[in-house]
Amino acid sequence: MTQPPPPPGPRPPEWQRPQVPPGGYQVPPGPVAKRIPEDLPFVVRHSKLKRAAVMVPIVLLLVLVLACAVGRLALPDDANSTSGDAVAVAFFTLCLLLVFGAAVTLQIALVTSGGPVLAAGPAGLWIKTRPTRGQAIWLPWEGVERISRRRWGLERLLVVTPRDPRAEGNLGVFTAVDASLLKLFYGSGFTAPLTFADRRESEIMTAITQLSAGRIPIT
């Protein structure tokens, strides 16, 4: 069948015609925000108290072990040890406490300063895209392949795997580097804490199950 001739009159210039990308149109990625909105029915945040309750004893134990090792070397069981040696060991211990305390404080601040880590509603959820930043992406329930629970060191995580792998492709280089280990182990960099959240794990999983209404597998 022959094509009808083009209509008479001037034709639009080339730059006004719709440009179709090679391979056709693609589904646009989900919206990205610098901070998860807090107006959804269910919102989960970090718990600084829970993190501190786990990290502080670990730091104190580590400092105690190092201080004992240094003290054993600096204060031998003979008459050569002086009060100056004991002062040096005490000063070393204090420096360790300050250094490790500052490191733990900085880590907790980086992890918890980005606002909520998860927000869900009947239409979908917001999930963080970086472990130490507030950037997040919106995924409708139809765009989620599965939700699972995994362990990362001392922490238990909620892992959200998108149905379309291109959802992680427009989040920037820093996000790709920041979440690379999580993606390597779990197949997705979209995670939220369960152990160190301000809500119990059972409460979070119950809310996710109810709001998703059976549209995705949850393990």
pTM of the full structure: 0.72
> Rounded to a whole number, what is the largest CA-CA distance in the chain?
110
pLDDT for the residue 16: 43
Positions in the chain short of pLDDT 50: 1, 3, 11-27
User: Which amino acid, one-letter code, is at 89?
Assistant: V
pLDDT for the residue 158: 93
pLDDT for the residue 175: 66
pLDDT tens profile 165-194:
777 766 766 666 666 666 777 767 788 999
Contact 141, 124 (CB under 8 A): yes
Contact 111, 131 (CB under 8 A): yes
Looking at beta carbons, which pairs linking 141-147 to residues 24 or more positions away fall under 8 Å? 141/211, 141/212, 141/213, 141/215, 141/216, 142/215, 143/30, 143/167, 144/212, 144/215, 144/216, 145/216, 146/216, 146/217, 146/218, 146/219, 147/208, 147/212, 147/216, 147/217, 147/218, 147/219
d(CA 83, CA 47): 43
pLDDT for the residue 119: 95
Contact 49, 56 (CB under 8 A): no
pLDDT for the residue 15: 38
pLDDT for the residue 41: 93
For helices 48-74 and 83-112, the axis angle rounded to 10 degrees is: 160
Residue 211: alpha-carbon gap to chain centroid: 22
User: Which amino acid, one-letter code, is at 13?
Assistant: P
Up-side HSE of residue 63: CA atoms within 13 Å toward CB? 21
Phi, psi of 31 (to 5 degrees): -60, 145
